[in-house]
Chains A and B, each alone.
Chain A
């Protein structure tokens, strides 16, 4: 199984809602990532979990709250979002994460993303 599965595929939420995005991989990867991608822009790194611990937070607003319940799952909890947060949210995993020996680094596997619209 070389898939990263993201749910839901589409999400529309109001600015007062609380919702969660989910990501799952069963490749035994030890690093998992959240990216945000606006139209016609590259993916922007938000968070990295390495060995189930938050390794990197790229100064993301607190209305985005990541969670890694176990090595296969990654969640992104959303609360009080703004319309400008509407974007494609991508999850990825890799065999090694930050701080691992980069000489052994490998590629990232991406999910198909969640298209989020904040109204």
Chain B
């Protein structure tokens, strides 16, 4: 069965500090990987995605993620966070399951940036 595990439900961090949000997945098929951000009372916004090619993917707002196939991980990083980065972050995996394309989400990581 396919699954996505976000290892931290909450990550508190001070402003301007670096942050890493961890994501591991399990799948027996080729996958595409995504990070979405959800600000309070809003829908999901795509941060970045890995489809193929370079394993280091750069996204919006200064975020980047690295696909590690051997460790089945897709951790999200930012070298210096801002207060405005406070939000819920979802890792997701997409693949062909049971005949249709499916997006499976992790439980989310709440990033709280403190001044």
A and B together in one complex: no
